[in-house]
């Protein structure tokens, strides 16, 4: 293949001809390719699969992380031990392209690898690496760990993605009409374009679109402005001009998301609720672009269990129940292997699994120890519960929460905490659960997508009313939802207590009794969820909307 004059290796659908480059720090494509940490990667992976399904004129640009995010191992007492192992991939193509970009006023060599669309049925994706002999040790480490804890390394990673990605397109001789930033990590691409276009902001705006994923301003990344400048983040633009473009009030900090919103021609939140929250949050700033919303989704063919859907289409109750129990057993083999506990496929199984972050409240049910013990030791309605998820390796509070759950699990034969929460285990847990527990603090969850793929595997959602849930949930028909309170008038403690009590009320009085006493009704809820999630939350719909609502719009 001639990478100096790259051409997409499939015939582009004329409905999606706008030439687009999609920049993302992480992509969850396949269990074999460990270059992702969580939801942002899961979203990008599904987007790439759907772009391939629809034959869109889109290429992905990411980074080939030498050590991935981290491998989730255990210490001798079962607690979490982050480890970093070098990853090897024989299925990526060495393009033999090499070029230099400036990072911290020094030339850094960038090597390019390519994921062919036929390998995993995705859009073509290019991965950048600085781990080459021509670079010094410091430069090599830029692509070692996804979301490195060192601030200057992290800024260098953003420069590699943005500036390196923009340079790559030039090396490929691949003209793109749209530069789509999936989060603000790739923003240095905009400053590279600004330099290329002689400071013409209008030309940059024509190309740049931005997806924001964070529903509160404090969560949007800000870094030391002088450090960003010294690191060559702005491609030689003067400090005064950068600050004028960014529009932030703090001279010491650079606000990546605010700058992206002022440079892009259009931006989007990732659920209807998040769109409203984002417009309210950023509306006080001058000069930001329009913020619309496109609700996140996941690729149906990758995530759904086909035999379950076949049984549902045929209204075959017996075969459906048999299949669900069969795929529960698959998960329980992993539970037995990791934890030495034998779970029963006949028993109601709750799963909480996603990135471990404080606002997601993994341990919320344990805040009332008496009710938790009553739930797990109920003589009439037995329950099994499983947790999994990766805390950020330097988030010691989240790691402590994970380890607390591990310690608690030692007292219950029907409670397990699993490690290795990546694509394969995620799929297993969605197949193996009856109830998918999702309890973030409202309105902290921009979208969340794990519940979508759970519903594709006949796992019923129990959730607080946040993110994508208001667009999907009909309480008691396709899911169960904690009734919203006036959270703005509550302290964090009051909100946690309210949500916890409502979760227990629903579990004790509605959900678990329905599963055991009214199996026909439970099956109807499963089927309704499967029907409702199949099209509206399939990423083919999302990828189509990005073209129609974002890429094709005029500045």
Distances (CA, A) of 520 to 321, 329, 515: 10, 21, 9
Q: Helices 519-534 and 317-339 sit at what angle, rounded to 10 degrees? A: 90
Distances (CA, A) of 371 to 365, 374, 428, 504, 507: 8, 5, 28, 8, 11
- pLDDT exceeds cutoff 90 at 167: yes
Render pLDDT for 416-443 as a digit per residue (tens, 0 to 9): 999 999 999 999 999 999 999 999 999 9
User: Are the C-beta atoms of 55 and 121 separated by less than 8 Å?
Assistant: no
Dihedrals phi, psi of 22, to nearest 5 degrees: -110, 110
Cα 276 to the center of its chain, rounded Å? 20
Residue count of the chain: 555
The pLDDT, as a whole number, for residue 553 is 87
pLDDT tier at 204, thresholds 50, 70, 90: very high
Render pLDDT for 261-279 as a digit per residue (tens, 0 to 9): 999 999 999 999 999 999 9
Q: Is 520 exposed, middle or buried (0-12, 13-18, 19+ CB in 10 A)?
A: exposed
pTM: 0.98
Render pLDDT for 356-379 as a digit per residue (tens, 0 to 9): 999 999 999 999 999 999 999 999
In the three-class reduction of DSSP (H, G, I as helix; E, B as strand; rest coil), residue 387 is classed as strand
DSSP 66: T
Residue carrying the six token digits 């899961």 = 42
The pLDDT, as a whole number, for residue 554 is 79
User: Are the C-beta atoms of 61 and 44 separated by less than 8 Å?
Assistant: no
User: Are the C-beta atoms of 211 and 270 separated by less than 8 Å?
Assistant: yes
Among candidates 158, 91, 152, 160, which has minimal Cα distance to 120?
91
Among candidates 260, 175, 174, 245, which has minimal Cα distance to 212?
260
Asked whether the bond before 41 is cis by omega within 30 degrees of 0, the reply is no
- pLDDT exceeds cutoff 90 at 44: yes
H helices within 314-368, ranges in order?
Answer: 317-339
The stretch 182-200 carries a mean pLDDT of: 98
The pLDDT, as a whole number, for residue 96 is 97
Which pair of tokens denotes residue 405? 């759950």
Quote the CA–CA distance of 362 and 364 in Å, as a whole number.
6
- pLDDT exceeds cutoff 90 at 50: yes
Among candidates 371, 493, 400, 504, which has minimal Cα distance to 441?
493
Which pair of tokens denotes residue 439? 């309890």
The pLDDT, as a whole number, for residue 215 is 86
pLDDT tier at 220, thresholds 50, 70, 90: confident
User: Across all residues in the chain, what is the average pLDDT?
Assistant: 97
The pLDDT, as a whole number, for residue 233 is 98
Ramachandran bin of 394, using left for φ above 0, alpha for ψ from -120 to 50, beta for the remaining angles:
alpha
Render pLDDT for 55-102 as a digit per residue (tens, 0 to 9): 999 999 999 999 999 999 999 999 999 999 999 999 999 999 999 999
Say which residues have a Cβ less than 8 Å from residue 530's Cβ, sequence separation at least 6.
308, 309, 312, 455, 456, 458
User: Are the C-beta atoms of 191 and 202 separated by less than 8 Å?
Assistant: no
- pLDDT exceeds cutoff 80 at 104: yes
Quote the CA–CA distance of 89 and 419 in Å, as a whole number.
23
Residue carrying the six token digits 């669900």 = 324
The pLDDT, as a whole number, for residue 219 is 78
User: Are the C-beta atoms of 533 and 458 separated by less than 8 Å?
Assistant: no
The residues with which 418 forms a beta bridge, in sequence order, are 388
pLDDT tier at 380, thresholds 50, 70, 90: very high
What end-to-end distance do the CA atoms of the chain give, in Å?
35
Among candidates 200, 186, 184, 210, which has minimal Cα distance to 237?
200
Cα 213 to the center of its chain, rounded Å? 9
The pLDDT, as a whole number, for residue 188 is 98
């Amino acid at each position: 293949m001639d990478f100096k004059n790259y051409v997409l290796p499939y015939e582009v659908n004329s409905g999606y001809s706008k030439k687009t480059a999609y920049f993302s720090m992480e992509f969850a494509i396949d269990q074999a390719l460990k270059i992702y940490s969580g939801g942002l990667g899961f979203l990008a992976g599904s987007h790439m699969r759907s772009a391939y399904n629809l034959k869109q004129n889109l290429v992905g640009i990411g980074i080939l992380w030498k050590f991935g995010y981290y491998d989730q191992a255990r210490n001798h007492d079962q607690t979490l031990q982050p480890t970093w192992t070098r990853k090897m991939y024989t299925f990526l193509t060495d393009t033999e392209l090499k070029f230099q970009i400036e990072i911290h006023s020094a030339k850094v060599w960038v090597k390019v690898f390519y994921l062919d669309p036929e390998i995993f049925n995705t859009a073509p994706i290019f991965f950048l690496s600085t781990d080459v002999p021509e670079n010094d040790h410091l430069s090599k480490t830029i692509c070692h760990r996804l979301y490195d804890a060192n601030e200057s390394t992290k800024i260098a990673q953003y420069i590699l993605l943005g500036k390196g990605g923009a340079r790559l397109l030039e090396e490929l001789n691949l003209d793109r009409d749209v530069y789509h930033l999936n989060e603000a990590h790739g923003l240095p691409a905009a400053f590279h374009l600004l330099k290329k276009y002689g400071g013409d902001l209008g030309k940059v705006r024509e190309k740049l679109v931005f997806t924001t994923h964070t529903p509160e301003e404090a969560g949007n990344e800000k870094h030391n402005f002088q450090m960003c400048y010294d690191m060559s983040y702005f491609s030689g633009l003067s400090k005064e001009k950068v600050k004028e473009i960014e529009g932030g009030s703090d001279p010491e900090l650079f606000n990546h998301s605010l700058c992206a919103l002022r440079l892009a021609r259009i931006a989007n939140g990732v659920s209807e609720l998040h769109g409203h929250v984002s417009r309210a949050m950023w509306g006080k700033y001058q000069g930001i672009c329009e913020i619309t919303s496109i609700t996140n989704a996941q690729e149906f063919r990758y995530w759904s269990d086909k035999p379950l859907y076949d049984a549902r289409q045929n209204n075959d109750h017996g075969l459906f129940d048999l299949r669900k129990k069969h795929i529960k057993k698959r998960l329980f083999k992993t539970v037995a292997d990791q934890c030495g506990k034998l779970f029963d496929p006949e028993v109601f199984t709750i799963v909480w699994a996603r990135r471990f972050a404080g606002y997601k409240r993994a341990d919320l049910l344990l805040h009332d120890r008496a009710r938790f013990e009553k739930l797990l030791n109920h003589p009439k309605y037995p329950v099994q519960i499983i947790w999994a998820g990766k805390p950020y390796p330097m988030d010691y509070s989240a790691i402590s929460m994970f380890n607390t759950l591990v310690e608690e699990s030692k007292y219950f034969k029907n409670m397990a905490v699993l490690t290795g929460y990546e694509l394969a285990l995620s799929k297993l847990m969605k197949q193996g659960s009856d109830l998918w527990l999702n309890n973030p603090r409202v309105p902290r969850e921009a979208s969340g997508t794990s519940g979508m793929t759970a519903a594709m595997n006949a796992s019923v959602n129990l959730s607080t009313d946040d993110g994508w849930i208001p667009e999907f949930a009909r309480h008691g028909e396709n899911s169960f939802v904690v009734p919203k309170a006036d959270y703005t008038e509550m302290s964090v403690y009051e909100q946690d207590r309210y949500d916890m009590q409502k979760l227990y009320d629903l579990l004790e009085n509605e959900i678990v009794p329905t599963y055991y006493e009214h199996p026909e009704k439970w099956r109807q809820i499963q089927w309704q969820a499967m029907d409702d999630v199949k099209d509206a939350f399939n990423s083919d719909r999302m990828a189509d909307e990005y073209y129609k609502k974002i890429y094709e719009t005029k500045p």
